[in-house]
Every structure is written in structure tokens, then in C-alpha cells.
Amino acid sequence: MDMTLAADIPPATVEPSIAVSRLNHWFGAGDAAKQALFDIDLAVSPGELVILMGASGSGKTTLLTLIGCLREVQDGSVRLLGRELRGASPEQLVASRRRLGFIFQAHNLHNSLTALQNVRLGLDVHPGVPEKARDAACAHVLGLLGLGARLSYLPANLSGGQRQRVAIARALVGNPEIIVADEPTAALDKESGYDVVALLRRLARERGTTILMVTHDNRILDLADRILTMQDGRIVSDRRVAGA
């Protein structure tokens, strides 16, 4: 079996952004309970771009929602930026989520809001930015993503690739330490899919942002630092991408 254990990776000098150990997860209760994750161990260093692959039903989405603080940890441990998620209250989970950036399969932009207003919503959960600086900060991030001329466009008037870039801007604008992405290229053609992820990687590099991305898209694998493969609720391979 082509399997490299997480222990083979040189020990990180700093604390990992994401540290998962002995994680099990079940759906349902009692006799009907079905185990979705088995004994997951995973460490992701700051700034890494890790791609999570696997057939549907392999548990990768479940793992992503647990790391994304969208489900309660039942057994084992998930440490996110040094904070243990197991036993965290819903209120603490919300606080942890605010330190993440989310990118979804569909762009999930609000149709009634312009590109700029959608990005504003990504920024407005964070207190502390002065009101006057907010629109400028959002416009700046949209500009980095090549949408400087589309600030007041509604999603309906943007192309698929542009919408996904607005969604990326919404995830980036709060300067998250970790970005959690679920098939961000699923709705895009080959070219724009690659471009969007390449752009995401470049911006993440500049900021030292960790990215955990679930994808089926083979075309973007060469952008990853590490590729994890899951099968039946277990991580079955963990390999570094040469030259990344």
C-alpha cells in the first residue's frame, strides 16, 4: 500500500494550524449509528495548501465540516490554531469560525447584493475595522482578484469564474488564518478553474494562509503542497507534491 504516515513528515517547528488526532465520527444514534470517520490523524502546517481527495462517501466532507467548526467533535481531538474544538460551546464554535475563510462548491453569493456588498459581509463579522476603511478594504481585495471594475455588479451579471472570485474575496477579506474550500472549481470550466485556484494560492502564500481544499478536480492537483486521499472514512495516502 502506498501510504506515508503523517509521522514521516519532518516535525514542524511551529504549532500546526490544524492538528487532528484519533478523530472518530458517527452519524445517527444507537443501533442505527453509522461510523463515518475512523481514527483520523492529520497535521497541517501554516501556509500549506492541502488537497483532500476521495470518492464520495469517503468521509472527506465530514472531516471538512468538523475542521470548519460546523459540526461538534464527538471523539478524538481537533485543534484549530491551538484551540481545542472538542467540547467547545456553540458560541465558541462561532468564534472559531470567524477565524476561517469559507469557499463553497457553489459560490453562495447573495443575489440581491453587489460584489462589493457580498465581500462586505465577509468583513463585517470582524469588529475592529473602522467603518470608513471597510469598503476600501473590500474593493482592494476584489482588485487583487481582478474584479476592480466589477464592484457594483450583481452576481447575476458576472460570469461563473468571476462569481467564484468574489466568493474567494469574501473568504480572504477577513485575513483568515485558514481557508476551508469545498470543490471550489466544480462549477467552473477547466481554464477558469485552474486560474481561480492559482490566484487563491498566490494570495494565500503572500499572507501565509493555510488552505484545506476538498476536490475531485485532477487539473489543479499540481497546485497543492500535499495531497491526502481518503477511503471509507480513513486517510489512506498522504503525499507531498514534488516541486511544490
| Interface ranges with another protein (CB under 8 A) | 61, 64-65, 68, 70-71, 94-95, 97-98, 102, 104-106, 108-113, 117, 120-122, 124-125, 170, 182, 214
Burial of 181 (0-12, 13-18, 19+ CB in 10 A): buried
Smaller CB separation from another protein, 127 or 243: 127
Q: What's the min distance (Å) between Cβ of 126 and another protein?
A: 8
Q: Which of 150, 58, 61, 154 is nearest to 104 (CA)?
A: 61
Please give the backbone phi and psi of residue 114, each rounded to the nearest 5 degrees, phi first.
-70, 170
Q: What's the min distance (Å) between Cβ of 113 and another protein?
A: 6
**Alpha-carbon span 185 to 189, nearest angstrom:** 8
Smaller CB separation from another protein, 66 or 197: 66
Q: What's the min distance (Å) between Cβ of 1 and another protein?
A: 28
DSSP secondary structure letter of residue 21: E
Q: What's the min distance (Å) between Cβ of 117 and another protein?
A: 6
Smaller CB separation from another protein, 71 or 234: 71
Smaller CB separation from another protein, 45 or 138: 138
Q: What's the min distance (Å) between Cβ of 120 and another protein?
A: 6
Smaller CB separation from another protein, 16 or 155: 155
Q: Which of 61, 26, 25, 64 is nearest to 44 (CA)?
A: 64
Burial of 8 (0-12, 13-18, 19+ CB in 10 A): exposed
Residues 6+ apart with CB under 8 A from 171: 101, 102, 103, 122, 179, 181
